[in-house]
Each structure stands twice: as structure tokens, then as C-alpha cells.
């Protein structure tokens, strides 16, 4: 399983095309960064970088991984935002207006049913109109 941390490291190296600058960017030492990239290459079974003296270039597989990793992180951010938004909507109070006690008996039954769903009735307010 590829770790998100490894993909973040890969993105930094791929964008900087330099291990030292990438390490500075993500605040780690270059040695573990290089080791992590090699582990990622071993795990994927492909070479992601062409390593030459004083030069680093992406292979076609590296170019593709960079593109897919960016898409993955965008999707992850969207997913986190959607989950938080869903949670906020669930926690928002539900207000029900009741006219002169006509519907009171029915609302008591509804309140009992909602309480069976583990706290769903906590955010329920009845307002007499």
C-alpha cells in the first residue's frame, strides 16, 4: 500500500528535481527522502527518476505518477470538505413550527421515534406559532 506521505515526498522531489531542495521544502533530511523515493520505486516496480550527476529528471512513469498524485490529493481535499460539510449539516438544528397545539400528539410520537436513532432528537427544536 502506498502511503500518502510517500506521494507527498515524491511530488516535492518531482517538482524541485533536486533532493536537497525538496528535503528543505518538506522539512526533512535528504537521506531519508532519497530512501523513501527508492522504496516507492521498489514498491511500484518502476524507476520514477533518471539520476545523473548533478541532474535529476522524471521518467515517463514519474511524469504519470506526478499527474495522478496531484489528482489524488485534489480528490482527497474535496472528500474531506464534503465530509465536514455533511457533518455540519447533520449538527444543524431542525426547527419545527407548531400551530396552537394541534399537532402536539403527533410530534411527541415523532420525537420518540427520532430518539431511537442515537441522539438525532438533540438538535430538534419545537416552536409554537
Query: Could you report the average pLDDT of every consecutive run of 10 residues in the chain (129 residues)?
Result: 95 97 96 97 97 94 98 96 85 67 64 61 59
* 3-class DSSP assignment, residue 99: coil
The pLDDT of residue 104 is: 64
Instruction: List C-alpha distances in Å: 113 to 77, 99, 109, 121, 122.
Output: 36, 21, 6, 9, 12
End-to-end CA distance of the chain: 58
Q: How far, in Å, CA of 99 to CA of 104, rounded?
A: 9
| pTM more than 0.75 | no
DSSP 54: T
**Beta-bridge partner residues of 124:** 94
The pLDDT of residue 121 is: 54
Distance of CA 13 to the CA centre of its chain: 21
What are the residue ranges of helices labelled H in 45-125?
60-91, 104-115
The pLDDT of residue 88 is: 77
The pLDDT of residue 91 is: 73
Amino acid at each position: 500500500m502506498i502511503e500518502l506521505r510517500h506521494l507527498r515526498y515524491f511530488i516535492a522531489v518531482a517538482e524541485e528535481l533536486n533532493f536537497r531542495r525538496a528535503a528543505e521544502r518538506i522539512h526533512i533530511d535528504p537521506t531519508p527522502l532519497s530512501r523513501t523515493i527508492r522504496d516507492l520505486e521498489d514498491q511500484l516496480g518502476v524507476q520514477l527518476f533518471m539520476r545523473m550527476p548533478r541532474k535529476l529528471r522524471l521518467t515517463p512513469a514519474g511524469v504519470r505518477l506526478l499527474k495522478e498524485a496531484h489528482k489524488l490529493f485534489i480528490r482527497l481535499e474535496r472528500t474531506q470538505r464534503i465530509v465536514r460539510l455533511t457533518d455540519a449539516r447533520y449538527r444543524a438544528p431542525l426547527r419545527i413550527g407548531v400551530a396552537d397545539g394541534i399537532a402536539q400528539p403527533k410530534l411527541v410520537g415523532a420525537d420518540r421515534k427520532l430518539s431511537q436513532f442515537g441522539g438525532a432528537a438533540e438538535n430538534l427544536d419545537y416552536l409554537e406559532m
